[in-house]
Chains A and B, each alone.
Chain A
Amino acid sequence: MVDNNKTNLHAPKSSLQVVRRLAKIRLLRGVPFQYLVPTDAALPVESIRFFHIDQNWLDALIDGALSVTMRSNSDIEWLKESEPGSDVNRYESILRNTNQFTSGSRKFYRNMFKHSRSKTGNPVEIKSGGSMTGLLLRSTIVRDYPGLEISAYKDPESSPGSIEINTSNSESSWQRKNWVQTLRMERLSPSILLCIFNDIPSHVRIQEPSESLRMGVDGRPASNSNEDPTSFNLKLKNSDGSLINSETNIRTRSNTNDDSVLDITGLFNDLQARIIDGNDITGFDTQDSALIATQMLQLPYQQDFIPILYNFVESEGVSKS
């Protein structure tokens, strides 16, 4: 937890301002992208990459920033001294407080945890000083879907294993108690999104913006399928909006240049036949336009990544001179 009381006890007000500014730097705000990803090949176009954060690198960054503010040897000596009543020198205190402030600096999270505390009576502890991780998403998704929702979770029972794509653990793994704090989520460019987490998550969920309730279809049939390539697939839903494990195929008109005008009549007839059949979509009766609308509603899609950052050996890097 951020020990603001301790900070205020031993240091003047200006020290809090210093910690606040250094916390921004520690979250890599303003760091040129080339310093973060030194080669384009590490983050190809249309890719997602997870990473650990080398906190020694962050300390060196802070050291550089502090060095500019030290105008004389006496200032450096001052940095190595401790505030009256404190048992660590100012440098260590700055690093420690900056690290703590980083995890508690977002008003959003502060408020959220406050709410959580008052509701359940069990305050949720913001961890700090532990591992930091993150992800970079480089895709047109970032550009085309503003408001992307990314949340990380750490399941204490998840076992290390090889990376799995688009699978899901039991729903309990996605419970709030397993949530890992997001320290920073920001677009670095129109198509690159950076997320920094305050721990090592075991699984991450990326979800389409939930406000984007749209109407549409589910793309063209796969090129290797036997389906009409000019048609569109549509995943079928019950009247409560729940998806069923079945889809239909909507034909298109042939008198347009781009096979883009849907055969709504054919779709309706097909859906009615399924309703009468009784073995497929359920909950509908005599609906017409509401039936079409329900089937064409596109619910927010979510993509899960499990597990992501475990089972890799630790590295000590190279020796310092």
Chain B
Amino acid sequence: MPENNMPDLGTYILYDRVVGPLSPGKYKIKIGQNIDISTNNGGESHSAESERVFTISGPRWSINPPDVHSVYPPRNDDDSPTESYVPFITLGRKTLPWERSIFSSQTQTSNDINSYPWVALLVFTDEELTDSNGVLGIHKGEDKLKLLSDKVIGDITYSGVFANKPSTMAELGIDDGGHDDLEVDALRIDSATLKSIAPTVDELRLLSHVRRVNPSDKENCGNDDDGWFSVVMSNRVLSKSKKYHACLVSLEGRFDEQILPDNVPLNYTNAGGTSAVTSGLSALLSTLLAVPNMPFFGTKKNKNNNSGSSTSQIEPVKDETSQTGAETKLVLLHHWSFSTSDIDGDFQSRMEGLRVRVNSDQLEGVERGDLISLADVNQEKYGQHTKDNIEPLLLGTNSVPGMTSNSYLRTEMVGADGISDEVLYRGPFTAVPENHHPKQDPYQVSDEALGIVEELGIWDISHASAFELGRLMALQDTILTGAVHQWITESKSNALDIERERRMKENNLDSESLADIISKIDFSKVARPISPDSTKANIVSGEK
């Protein structure tokens, strides 16, 4: 590995987090110096002090677009894969998620507060974000919300992001009246919906990490200098055929508002829920660690944490703070939207879902000609020897209706006289290899390329069709036709030059004698066409 833990090309290192030494705010630095001087006459002492004030700043109400390295799924993507990937945002600043704190100064905890990010990536469907008035809860551009004051958008008055949150405003130091009308991008969401989707505070800690790549690996790093990135993941897997909004929100100082869920109701899982290894000691440890392993804060204790244990259906926990119709507003640092594919599955499941045709009547549950997925080829449900009874993955075999084993398709051709004939056609792609027989002379008309199956008296129009198609393609290619004509002209011109030189040499002619000969030529004879049948082309000089 290169120095300074730089990853090798094509590799990367993941870190839990990178926390800066100082959080944003105003700082005062005080420098003092004492000098003691000893001389023969005694000693002198001098001292001096100096103070400097400086500010450490960082993104708070928005993130500059250049600081967003990439997002997944891509913005405005129409076909994001479903049931496989989770959305995430990659930020160019490695410390950004940990530069501020979700907690207030009043939060009682012994835990490492700095290890918790102040941002979360929340993913909502269009429906979840649309309120009863049919208005989407994304406030950007002209529809930004104010921090405290009301704002009228359309016919609706929206209160500020921190309206009725005086303690939070005080905690953030924005209760001086100077920030009341500051407009920010905001997310407005039904509080209950937010709690059903947002991560718990402990999960928040697990969803942000730092990634370091080799900066010379441009594929991964783009134009970044140091190769450090922070990544914020969502906790939601995408479902098919939905429009989603990914919202990177600020949770700075908002822990005490209890806008995040304390504990979450989980779907049923049976005793064999984990598919491997979780047995014996491992399972026991899993159960033991389920509650105490994760830290919790202040007096807010997880009363009903079911994670990792095997339980039957758990009723959703009633939350005192979630009232029907109550809304939560959050500062929106970055937002993008995308839509998901109408098909489930990741790359692997889609590859395994490619289909092959059954070529046997022996398999259970399927008939010859049915299509089954590659993943099912070795499945016992179709019998022991499925793979021996599927067609090879070749284009155009006799398992395709109307096709022969060597890729001929029986079809009809309508002639110029309007009469249709049964013919055979085969394209350039065949299931069987075909020997190449280069010709010495080209076909001049398509009829020369016709083949016939003598036993059946059926025409094979494959090469004739190719010939006609080639004609059509060349007619559209003026560069090709121009180049051929130029080639022919140059060749013929060169041939004439060579012939003229040869004759002049044979007859000992020079340019002067040649000019004399030319002056005596009867051009009416020269222009007469050299044709065996001069009646068809009777062109003479001066007459057409």
Contact = CB atoms under 8 A, between A and B. Distances in A.
Contacts of B265: 253-255
A105 interface: no
Contacts of A274: 277-278, 282
Contact of B83 (A49, A131, A219, A309): A219
Contacts of A319: 451-454
Contacts of B219: 210-211
Interface stretch (A112-120, A174-182, A297-305): A297-305
Contacts of B352: 166, 303
A64 B467 contact: yes
Given A51-B395, A215-B85, A253-B265, A228 B270 contact: yes
B473 A293 contact: no
A47 B370 CA distance: 13
Given A273-B286, A296-B233, A260 B267 contact: no
30 contacts: A18-B480, A21-B483, A28-B428, A42-B395, A46-B354, A46-B373, A49-B394, A55-B436, A61-B469, A64-B468, A70-B444, A84-B494, A144-B81, A165-B387, A217-B86, A219-B344, A226-B270, A228-B270, A255-B196, A261-B264, A264-B235, A265-B305, A277-B285, A288-B205, A288-B206, A289-B207, A292-B206, A301-B346, A309-B394, A309-B433
A17 B286 CA distance: 71
Interface string A223-247: 0011110111100000000000111
Interface string A132-148: 00101001110111000
Contact of A254 (B206, B314, B347, B436): B314
B434 A54 contact: yes
Contact of A162 (B346, B388, B411, B484): B388
Interface string A198-217: 00100000101011011111
A227 B275 contact: yes
B428 A58 contact: yes
Contacts of B392: 162-163, 312
Given A14-B487, A248-B274, A249-B275, A264 B84 contact: no
A64 B282 contact: no
Nearest to A294: B14
- Of the listed residues A12, A31, A289, the one surrounded by the most CB atoms of chain B closer than 10 A to its CB is A289
Contact of B308 (A14, A164, A269): A269
A132 to B, nearest CB: 9
A44 interface: yes
A95 interface: yes
A12 B489 CA distance: 11
A262 interface: yes
A95 B438 contact: yes
Interface in B395-419: 395-396, 400-403, 406, 408-409, 411
A186 interface: no
A253 B282 contact: no
Interface in B28-84: 72, 79, 81, 83-84
A313 B274 CA distance: 49
